Structure 1
Amino acid sequence: MAVPDLAAPAAPEAGAPADEDLLLEHQLCFALTVASRSVVGAYKPVLDKLGLTHPQYLVMLCLWESSPRTVREISEALAQEPATISPLLRRLEAAGYLTRQRAEGNERSLAVRLTDRGAALRQQATAVPGTMMARLGLDREQVSELHAAMMRLIAATRDADQGHSG
């Protein structure tokens, strides 16, 4: 699929005609969609070396931060529904990276725990952030700025959702 030329289109000027607001090149949703797909695609060859898909990598990042975790904790950390996380956990368990067992004291909850193999994979994964910065031509400060901007955008969408849900 060809990626459209997104080299800094002119931002709509204040007081610009409303028709310009509807230009595809001015749509935040379009830029975010293409950027997300492009960045995840850039991760693919790097994560292939670890034997992980991008969603599996996110689950492993979550578990490398803290293990064991419940399915609910993982789904909340990744802002995904448990039904989306469960198939990823099954595949990671089949690969030998984690185990899923009933949590002690709560039969309805699954505790997800790294195996030694899953914990060892973390060492290989330490190269991923630096490799991705190089692939994307970004330095640590630029990544930090982009991350902060995305986190502000996520917070703004959650705030907007809260304003409309009650």
Structure 2
Amino acid sequence: MDKYDVLKLENQLCFSLYALSREVIKMYKPLLDPFDLTYTQYVTMMVMWEQEQITFKELGNRLYLDSGTLTPVLKKLESKGIVRKYRSKEDDRVVIVEITDSGRELKDKIIEVPENILCRFSGEEENLLSLKMQLDELLRKGLNKDCT
């Protein structure tokens, strides 16, 4: 084994994850276009359908998004009238994000998207479930270990 094999693209876990993620997200585009949602807006709404009301900080944590990425996503969703943001009455440093009635109605309209995506992986359900469990475990354990 050559000492530079570690630098080959084909040997990079990060590239495989990146490429697969891009391909899967591309599958969502034609399904989300009729609802005028991007993939990031869609996953944000998935949290909102679960929580209905959540702090900006907790929403960012759930989505693994920093405020610089989440802010424009929420502005767009707010302009569509499906979420609203406001400051907490108890602590004005805390921003609350809340789903609107239109956002709740969208949930019923978009319900078939996950099933449609799963259909595209027909025959791979067991592999997908295993992969998801492994990825969730890696996220849970955290990847911030210092190796120096």
Fold conserved between structures, TM > 0.5: yes
8 Å CA contact 1:75–1:85 kept in 2: the answer is yes
- Tell me by how many angstroms 1:19 deviates: 4.8
Which residue is 2:132 aligned to?
147
- Tell me by how many angstroms 1:24 deviates: 2.3
Matches for 1:113-128 after TM superposition, within 5 Å: 113-128=98-113
1:25 and 2:25 aligned: no
- Aligned residue type for 1:130: E
- Aligned residue type for 1:34: A
- Normalized against structure 1, the TM-score is what? 0.79
Q: Percent identity?
A: 31
Which residue is 2:146 aligned to?
164
- Tell me by how many angstroms 1:49 deviates: 2.0
Q: Secondary structure at the match of 1:107?
A: coil
Q: Secondary structure at the match of 1:100?
A: strand
Which residue is 1:48 aligned to?
33
Which residue is 2:116 aligned to?
131
Computed over aligned residues only, the root mean square deviation of the Cα atoms, in angstroms, reads 2.0
42, 47, 61: which one aligns with 1:76:
61
Matches for 1:92-111 after TM superposition, within 5 Å: 92-111=77-96
Structure 2 unaligned spans of 5+: none
Which residue is 1:38 aligned to?
23
Given the superposition, is the C-alpha separation of residues 138 and 69 from structure 1 closer, same or farther in structure 2, using an over 3 Å criterion?
farther
Given the superposition, is the C-alpha separation of residues 142 and 126 from structure 1 closer, same or farther in structure 2, using an over 3 Å criterion?
farther
- Aligned residue type for 2:91: N
1:60 and 2:61 aligned: no
- Aligned residue type for 1:164: D
- Tell me by how many angstroms 1:30 deviates: 1.5
Larger radius of gyration between Structure 1 and Structure 2: 1
The alignment of Structure 1 onto Structure 2 pairs a total of residues equal to 147
Which residue is 1:3 aligned to?
none
Given the superposition, is the C-alpha separation of residues 138 and 48 from structure 1 closer, same or farther in structure 2, using an over 3 Å criterion?
farther
CA–CA distance in structure 1, aligned partners of residues 10 and 47 of structure 2: 35
Q: Which has the higher contact order (CA 8 A, sep 6+)?
A: 2
